[in-house]
Amino acid sequence: MNQETLTKIGLSKAESIIYLSLLKLGDSNVKDISKDTGFHRTNIYDVLELLKNKGLVAFIKKGKTFYYETTDPKNLYNMLEEKKEILKTLMPGLEALSKLKKEKISVSVFKGEEGMKSVFNDILREKGDIYGLGIKGQLRDKLPFYAEQFLRDMKLQKKKYYGLYDKKEHISPVFTEIRFLPKNVSIPVATHIYSNKVLITIWEPDLIAILIKSKEVSDTYKSHFNLLWNISKKQT
């Protein structure tokens, strides 16, 4: 066995050299090890401490001098087994990290009537439930002809649409269920959450839509929606 072989199983170069020196010399003090390896005595003490912690070296005091020797070489197996067990414990977390990819977040801004129609068409294209906050009939008020078409398509696709309203007015006929926010809670900006997207629509003084595509952002908004949903009153 040579020093390079021991470094392959996890010992440092210095640990490998001193371990092999002790295997060859047997019961030895630091002076003996220094003569055999050429290492400075201070460095040898540091390395011996590391080898003792790994269970590869033992010592005995004779008079005022410490003598060192290797333990059973099979303890190298124990060292590797311990590392294997540690690795088993770490593996689930390591695998999770390897699968974790930084999400690309895209933010798009749409302006005017055609831009607003474009983002509402995106709602129709995506699968899954839709959650609306601060809805006040803005689409029917600003784009009545398109709103009629949008609501018709929502019914045809049988989409589940949950809405939180400030007041009992401008209620959309396509909501699966609606609830009314507590009086002290107001949502000034209309927001839709669907798929992995968040759509924020501004209707005054100009028509502006901000579409955020991000699962993390969508999940955060959905959590906020659920919180408000749970403290809101059902429609009667």
Digits of tens for pLDDT over the chain (236 positions)? Answer: 677 888 888 888 999 899 999 989 988 899 999 999 999 988 999 999 999 988 899 988 888 889 999 999 888 888 888 778 777 777 777 777 666 556 678 999 999 999 999 999 999 999 889 998 888 888 888 899 998 998 899 888 888 888 887 766 556 666 678 788 777 777 778 899 999 999 999 988 889 999 999 988 899 999 988 988 888 877 66
- Residue with structure tokens 């784009």? 143
Strands (DSSP E) contained in 84-202 are 106-111, 130-133, 161-165, 177-180, 190-194, 197-202
- In sequence order, the 6+-apart residues with CB closer than 8 A to the CB of 72 are none
User: For 179-225, what is the HEC assignment?
Assistant: EECCCCCCCCCEEEEECCEEEEEECCCCCEEEEEECHHHHHHHHHHH
**Domains in the chain, CATH or no CATH each:** 3-98 (1.10.10.10), 106-234 (3.30.870.10)
